[in-house]
């Protein structure tokens, strides 16, 4: 698998994520943690489910808008379905035991200098580095 750094798209994506997180905090006093937002639109619905649904709809619609404006997204999933499902459960357990997801801790918690979020993000990153190393250099994926 070949990866390519795209600085302009990365910068634009980072700015949009930061803007969305800032606006959500400013207007609703809420942290932009995707799993927490998603949890509020699943039964039993949260009282404020409307903004949650709008936030998630925007996150899902953005790639479609981007491609309809002429952009391209090179996307490949070089993993079989079963390992992907197992990985999803592992991530779900991490979100539960870590009291939040990478977006909540990494974007919003780090910006607020939360010690818990700094620790959680450090663990996420170390786990990601180890996973990539093992996958690419030990297993040979």
Residues 84-112 have pLDDT tens digits of: 999 889 888 888 888 888 888 999 999 89
pLDDT the model gives residue 54: 94
pLDDT the model gives residue 44: 93
What's the domain range around 53? 7-139
- Residue linked to tokens 């070089």: 78
Cα(94)–Cα(101) distance, rounded to whole angstroms? 8
31 belongs to a structural domain: yes
57 belongs to a structural domain: yes
1 belongs to a structural domain: no
Structural domains of the chain, count: 1
Q: How far is CA 54 from CA 12, 98, 102, in A?
A: 21, 26, 20
60 belongs to a structural domain: yes
Angle between helices 49-68 and 7-28 (to 10 degrees): 160
Low-confidence ranges of the chain (pLDDT < 70): 1-3, 141
């Amino acid at each position: 698998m070949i990866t390519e750094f795209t600085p302009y798209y990365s910068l634009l994506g980072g700015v949009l994520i930061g803007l969305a997180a800032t606006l959500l905090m400013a207007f609703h006093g809420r942290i932009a943690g995707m799993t927490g937002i998603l949890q509020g639109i699943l039964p039993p619905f949260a009282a404020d489910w409307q903004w949650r649904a709008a936030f998630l709809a925007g996150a899902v619609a953005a790639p479609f808008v981007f491609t309809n404006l002429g952009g391209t997204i090179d996307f490949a999933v070089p993993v079989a379905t079963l390992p992907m499902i197992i990985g999803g459960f592992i991530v779900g357990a991490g979100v539960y035991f870590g009291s939040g997801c990478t977006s909540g801790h990494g974007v919003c918690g780090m910006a607020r200098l939360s010690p818990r979020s700094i620790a959680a993000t450090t663990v996420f990153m170390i786990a990601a580095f180890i996973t990539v190393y093992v996958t690419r250099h030990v297993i040979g994926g």
